[in-house]
Amino acid sequence: MVTTRKQEIVQAEEKEAAAAPDNLTTRPAPENSSLKPTGTVPESSDDDPDSEPPAKKVKIETPEEEVAHKVSDGLRDVGTTERGHIYFFFRPRVQMDSPASLDDVKNLHMLLVPRPPKFGVAEDTRIASADDSKDMDVLPQGADAVPASAPLYASEKHYRLITIGKKTLPDPGKSRRGGRKESFWATVTAVGDDLDALEKGLSEKTYGTKTRGTRHDPPARLAARGCYALVNNDAQKPSAETTYLGYSLSHPAPAAFGPVQTALGIHRAAAFVLQVKNPQAPASDGGASTTKHVVYPPAIMDGVFGQGTRGRDATGLRFAPCTRPEMLDYKGVELLLIAVRGGEVGLEESLGEGRGEALAEAGEEDEVLTTREIFGELWGEEEGDMMPEALDGEWI
């Protein structure tokens, strides 16, 4: 049988397509696909006055990179991903029952207790009927960042205790050499649902040692309480993805801020860039990672850190935004807090869409809570001993 030139071309294309994997076919991709053919565009003739200039070469994503970005997009929600109540505790050094400065502080802890949003569409919006003269009720701007009130005297609430490395929060008003903002290490030191167990962990301890005898670990002090929100920005490309941790305090009141809050770097309101260290990434000196005992699921390793497709190492990016709040639910995870903006104006600039203003209003509304009610929402105890508190701004 005689084979025409056209038939030979068709047969060759069919053989080539059959030999390639389904997602790596060499046939041209559809116009709406981000996976474009790697061939160069033919240059137009200089003799044709109506011809268009040669197309510029663009960076083509490999199929693996395209898949990684699609997975990341599937894991990443834009806007508020979590909201709740935030508490700052400091623990004095061993045998230091009366601290008087930051030198007498052993640890600074940031406690996050997630809560559902204050406003629910089914409960707080009303669809106006045709004959209803009233305007339709809508959610206030930034409402997705406002947490519902915490139930008092409930002993089970999900929490994460994060220990700040330098015993103080990075200062949004300070910059390093080259204009870089302050950034401090932090570690997730406890995760759970039993607040009684957390209270015991922050309470005073007495223990014996072979060389120094009996030692006393003073109880932690509550230094501040407020509302927080985790917000993902609306990034146009993966390299611009950012997660912000913003908070606005209800306690202490502005007039009660004192040397304790100043020394610990606690502001009335502030926002930080929150990044998570890849637990599988090698150490900076080339040795083994110190957090390899943290095991994230493949969806996080592939979709967030880009394992095998992004970064210089096969493990993926060394640091990534806290795309999903669940990334904080692993004890031992290392974090990087980068100061960006302070004050209510800075909080709104970071979180956007009215979220900073809504958090500030929520903090003001919660100023009516008494110290006993704050401990009640924390420890689930109506009566009994409470930890010391420095909400008046003075060292105790």
Domain count, the chain: 2
Q: Are residues 87 and 173 in the same domain?
A: yes
4 — pLDDT class (breaks 50, 70, 90): low
In a domain, 68, yes or no: no
Q: Are residues 303 and 268 in the same domain?
A: no
Q: Are residues 88 and 230 in the same domain?
A: yes
237 — pLDDT class (breaks 50, 70, 90): confident
Q: Two tokens at 182?
A: 């302050």
354 alpha-carbon distance from chain centroid:
19
Q: Are residues 342 and 223 in the same domain?
A: yes
Q: Are residues 197 and 268 in the same domain?
A: yes
In a domain, 396, yes or no: no
pLDDT tens for 297-330 read: 999 999 999 998 888 888 999 999 999 999 999 9
In this prediction the pTM is 0.77
Q: Are residues 363 and 307 in the same domain?
A: no
Gap between the Cα atoms of 70 and 66, Å rounded: 6
- Domain around 345: 81-118+141-272+318-379
Alpha-carbon distance values, 58 to 23, 36, 38, 166, 277 (Å): 21, 10, 10, 44, 31
Lowest mean pLDDT among 46-50, 66-70, 198-202, 294-298: 66-70
In a domain, 364, yes or no: yes
Q: Are residues 110 and 172 in the same domain?
A: yes
In a domain, 166, yes or no: yes
pLDDT tens for 180-236 read: 888 999 999 999 999 888 999 999 988 888 888 888 899 999 999 999 999 999 988
Identify which of 86, 87, 90 has the alpha carbon closest to the alpha carbon of residue 394: 90
Lowest mean pLDDT among 75-79, 124-128, 165-169: 124-128
Question: Mean pLDDT over residues 346-370, rounded?
Answer: 95
Q: Tell me the average pLDDT of the chain.
A: 80
In a domain, 161, yes or no: yes
In a domain, 22, yes or no: no
In a domain, 64, yes or no: no
Gap between the Cα atoms of 375 and 388, Å rounded: 10
17 — pLDDT class (breaks 50, 70, 90): very low
Q: Are residues 323 and 297 in the same domain?
A: no
Q: Are residues 217 and 296 in the same domain?
A: no
Gap between the Cα atoms of 344 and 249, Å rounded: 10
Gap between the Cα atoms of 339 and 82, Å rounded: 19
Q: Two tokens at 36?
A: 């474009």
**Helix ranges (DSSP H) in the chain:** 5-19, 63-75, 121-124, 195-202, 259-264, 298-303, 343-351, 355-365, 371-379
Gap between the Cα atoms of 215 and 212, Å rounded: 7
Q: Is the CB of residue 126 less than 8 Å from the CB of residue 136?
A: yes
